[in-house]
């Protein structure tokens, strides 16, 4: 058995004494070199080197879950996955090879299915976690290594978790808990116009039509839609604009020529919600949920609401029918 180690910079070190007959071949690996003082062959743990190493050494090279986890990271970086996704995938690949200490080419599709079944049975994880494990296995064995081009692991149906809805009094408390006119205007528009956080931060002065009481919104993709601009929204904008002049973006960031960041808008809501004493599990998107639900409770048409929210699929909008209070009004389900 060959002894090896992985250094801090993810290089692999192998004793020359262990591979005397294969030393010259191993030195053909990319960026490999011989450390004469320690009599070790050193090379970076890149996907190409790792896979070539397996082929050269075969059964003489020990199966290492840690090494395969490192390989998953290298492959993720090569395929431009986000660092967060890459780290998550790497953890599940390590867990798989700890359970099945095989060469990667010896892994069977049944091994993958069995690993998934046992993971679900022992951990009882949320569906989102199961989806992540499946994505990790399919990424590594199907997409990155190409071992099973048609690999499909059965995914559980997504759990339908309905969001908590803020009532009108809670919305009022959140909006009025902040003394900053800019913050109050931002939260007011998210609620009174049913905006996504990405939409509210990118609003421009020219998107506001006070006379017609409408907002022009750059929706998902490159599409545009028009939604309502309520008296509440107009009043909050007027109060805010009296103090800031006329920037390009309605809610500029610190450098004034760029919009406020999405994270900054989220923090504004979080601070306001905490100050208002809201105990529900909510986010700034909850104001958009409240907008939709409160309109339905007031008797608004579901297809009209669909157009205001910018939903392409009516089924997406119909979720709010189960969130609205049916005792307040007889809800109309068709346009």
Please give the pLDDT value at position 261: 92
Handedness of CA 146, 148, 153, 158 (dihedral sign): positive
> Which helix or strand (DSSP H or E) is residue 6 part of?
strand 4-6
Which of 194, 200, 205, 183 has the alpha carbon at shortest distance from 250? 205
pLDDT at position 200, please? 94
Catalytic residue chosen out of the listed positions 182, 184, 196, 294? 196
How far is residue 306's CA from residue 302's CA, in Å, rounded to a whole number?
6
Task: List all residues 6 or more positions away from 295 whose beta carbon is below 8 Å from its beta carbon.
Answer: 194, 305, 308
Report whether 299 contacts 329 (CB < 8 A): yes
Q: Where are the domains of the chain?
A: 1-62, 63-153, 168-323
Please tell me the distance from the alpha carbon of residue 125 to that of residue 131, in angstroms, as a whole number.
10
Instruction: Tell me how long the chain is.
Output: 335
pLDDT for the residue numbered 2: 56
pLDDT of residue 13: 81
Choosing among 1.10.443.10, 1.10.10.1800, 3.40.50.300, 3.90.1150.10, the CATH entry for 168-323 is 1.10.443.10
* Whether residue 80 lies in the annotated active site: no
Catalytic residue check, 332 = no
- State the catalytic residue, choosing from 50, 182, 288, 294: 288
> What's the confidence (pLDDT) of residue 245?
66
Specify the CATH number of the domain 63-153.
1.10.150.130
Intervals of the chain under pLDDT 50: 1, 327, 329-335
Give, for 173, the enclosing helix (H) or strand (E): helix 168-176
**What is this structure's pTM?**
0.55
Q: Which of 212, 220, 328, 333 is catalytic?
A: 220
Runs of H (alpha helix) within 179-313? 181-193, 197-201, 231-244, 262-275, 285-297, 302-309
CA dihedral 226, 232, 236, 242 (to 10 degrees): 90
The yes-or-no answer on residue 8 being catalytic is: no
pLDDT for res 332: 45
Task: Classify strands 214-218 and 208-209 as parallel, antiparallel or unpaired.
Answer: antiparallel
62 contacts: CB under 8 Å, gap ≥ 6: 1, 2, 4
Cβ-Cβ contacts under 8 Å for 195 (sequence gap 6 or more): 189, 203, 215, 217, 227, 288
Give the distance, in angstroms, between the CA of residue 249 and the centroid of all CA atoms in the same chain.
26
pLDDT on residue 330: 47
What was the pLDDT predicted at 59? Answer: 65
Residue 3 annotated among the catalytic residues of the structure:
no
State CA 96 to chain mean position distance. 24
104, 172, 285, 332: the active-site residue: 285
Q: What is the C-alpha to C-alpha distance for residues 292 and 99, in angstroms, rounded to an integer?
A: 48
Q: Which residues contact 328 (CB under 8 A, 6 or more apart)?
A: 297
Q: pLDDT by residue (tens digit) across 6-36?
A: 555 567 788 888 778 888 888 888 888 888 8
Q: Is 217 helix (H, G, I), strand (E, B) or coil?
A: strand
**Known catalytic membership, residue 191:** no
* Active-site residue, 285 included: yes
């Amino acid at each position: 058995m060959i002894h090896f180690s992985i250094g801090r910079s993810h290089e692999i070190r192998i004793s020359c004494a262990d591979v005397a007959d294969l030393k010259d071949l191993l030195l053909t690996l990319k960026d490999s070199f011989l450390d004469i003082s320690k009599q070790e062959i050193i090379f970076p743990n890149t996907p190409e080197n790792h896979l070539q190493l397996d082929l050269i050494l075969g059964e003489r090279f020990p199966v290492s879950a840690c090494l395969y986890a490192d390989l998953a990271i290298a492959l993720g970086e090569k395929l431009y996955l986000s660092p967060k996704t890459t780290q998550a995938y790497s953890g599940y690949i390590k867990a798989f090879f700890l359970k099945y200490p095989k060469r990667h080419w010896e892994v069977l599709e049944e091994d993958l299915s069995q690993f998934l079944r046992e993971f679900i049975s022992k951990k009882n994880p949320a569906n989102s976690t199961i989806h992540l494990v499946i994505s990790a296995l399919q990424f590594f064995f199907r997409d990155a290594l190409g071992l099973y081009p048609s690999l499909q692991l059965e995914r559980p149906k997504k759990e339908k978790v309905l969001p908590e809805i803020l009532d009108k009094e809670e919305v009022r408390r959140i909006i009025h808990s902040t003394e900053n006119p800019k913050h109050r205007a931002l939260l007011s528009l998210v609620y009174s116009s049913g905006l996504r956080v990405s939409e509210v931060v990118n609003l421009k002065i020219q998107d506001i039509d006070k006379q017609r009481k409408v907002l022009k919104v750059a929706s998902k993709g490159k599409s545009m839609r028009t939604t309502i601009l309520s008296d509440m929204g107009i009043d909050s904008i007027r109060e805010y604009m009296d103090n800031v002049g006329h920037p390009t973006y309605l809610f500029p960031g610190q450098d004034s020529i760029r919009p406020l960041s999405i994270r900054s808008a989220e923090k504004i809501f979080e601070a306001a919600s905490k100050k208002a004493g809201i105990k529900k599990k909510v986010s700034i998107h909850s104001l958009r949920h409240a907008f939709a639900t409160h309109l339905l409770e007031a008797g608004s048409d579901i297809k009209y609401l669909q157009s205001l929210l910018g939903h392409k699929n009516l089924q997406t909008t119909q979720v709010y029918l189960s969130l609205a209070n049916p005792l307040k009004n007889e809800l109309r389900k068709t346009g």
